[in-house]
Amino acid sequence: MGEESAFLSIGGGCLDIFVLDRSGLPRDLNKMFRNPVIRNAGELPLNHFERYHNYWRWSPGQKRARSFPYVEFLREFGLDVVSCFLPYTEKGSILSNYAEKLPHTAVAIRRNYEYDGIGFLCCLWQPYWPDWRAVWPAIATAFICGISQGKVQTYSELFNQAATILGDNWTAEALLSYFNIGNNFEFNDLVDIYWQESSPAERLRYIQRSGWREEELERLSDARTRSEDFLHLFPSAGNGFIRFIVSDLLIRAKAEERLLSQLSCHTIYDEFEYQGRLYREFCADFFHSGENLSLWLERYEPWLKHLSTITMTSA
């Protein structure tokens, strides 16, 4: 979120997040923070406030706190610190909203060097987060941030240097497009808002019951338009897997959009099945057969099962 944050995190995932100002949250983070275990600032434990408020530079009632204060805290104990962060948003298993995480990346790296941290690592959790090959452009961009110690002058400069490192006909414009494709819609995630595996049917019922159908349709339209723009405007950018994963996101957006709108999904099932076969081929060179099957089951089996049921019912 940049130099200041509209929430506090004390290190234990959603259970240890305290929102200071919901209106100040980026779009995808705002949706993720609808998880009911996330608390308001008034529930922050007193001992945490007393320990960290000087590092946060925050007092009760303020809507912003200083981002990434813990390097300073740990360095005061004389510890050598290696910073770790996610170069992608926490929601978006297929293709994440990398653009939303860019300010986070730059400030996390800069804070590390401000307090003489040793360096940084990009985290990549599996299997519920993007395939590492889809994240590689974000990791390369973080590497460029690291070279400048987080003091990148402009995003144009950052993307130009990252495109040079990546090769594969990447350009700054193509990277900017790619970073903006993913967003937090239900079929882009292998886990639901409660971080549990749930069926596509349960996801759709959740969206309907919550009153967020129109917002979800807007997210789906954004993802579909941005995917199509990337594929058409930058036909040579990225390797085969990058183009595959953008197509995969596009099909998932179309599937959810049609299901929410109660439209036929006959052709979507065939496209989804084909994507699943392609994914297993892409994984064949990197994972043994058991892990290959496991990854396929996580990413495709529930949706194919649901789409086949819908297809048979409508027939």
Same-domain check for residues 86 and 58: no
In 3-state terms the chain splits into helix, strand, coil percentages (rounded to 5) of 60, 5, 35
pLDDT-derived band at 288 (thresholds 50, 70, 90) equals low
**Average pLDDT score over residue span 10-15:** 78
**Rounded percentage of the chain residues whose pLDDT exceeds 90:** 59
Same-domain check for residues 17 and 121: no
Picking from 36, 67, 98, the residue at the C-terminal end of a domain is 67
pLDDT (tens digit, 9 = 90+) per residue, 17-59? 999 999 999 999 999 999 889 999 999 999 999 999 999 999 9
Total number of domains in the chain: 2
**Average pLDDT score over residue span 210-233:** 96
Picking from 38, 67, 96, the residue at the C-terminal end of a domain is 67
Picking from 67, 93, 113, the residue at the C-terminal end of a domain is 67
Residue 315 has pLDDT above 70, yes or no: no
Same-domain check for residues 137 and 11: no
Same-domain check for residues 9 and 39: yes
For residue 33, give its domain range: 1-67
Same-domain check for residues 52 and 201: no
Q: What residues form DSSP beta bridges with 83?
A: 120
Residue 312 has pLDDT above 50, yes or no: no
Same-domain check for residues 176 and 37: no
Residue 205 has pLDDT above 80, yes or no: yes
Same-domain check for residues 46 and 151: no
Residue 182 has pLDDT above 50, yes or no: yes
Centre a 10 Å sphere on the Cβ of residue 210 and count the other Cβ atoms it contains: 12
Same-domain check for residues 206 and 246: yes
> Which of 105, 236, 84 is closest to 173 using CA atoms?
236
- pLDDT higher for 290 or 182? 182
DSSP for 31-61 reads: HHTTSTT-EEGGGS-HHHHHHHHHHHT--TT
Token pair belonging to 153: 């002058």
Residue 287 has pLDDT above 70, yes or no: no
- Strands 119-122 and 82-85, sheet pairing: parallel
pTM of structure: 0.91
Residue 297 has pLDDT above 50, yes or no: yes
Same-domain check for residues 154 and 30: no
Same-domain check for residues 88 and 2: no
Residue type, 162: A
Same-domain check for residues 59 and 88: no
pLDDT-derived band at 265 (thresholds 50, 70, 90) equals confident
Mean pLDDT rounded to a whole number for the chain: 89
- pLDDT higher for 296 or 112? 112
Max avg pLDDT among 115-119, 120-124, 290-294 = 115-119
**Average pLDDT score over residue span 11-20:** 86
Same-domain check for residues 104 and 221: yes
Q: What residues form DSSP beta bridges with 4?
A: 66
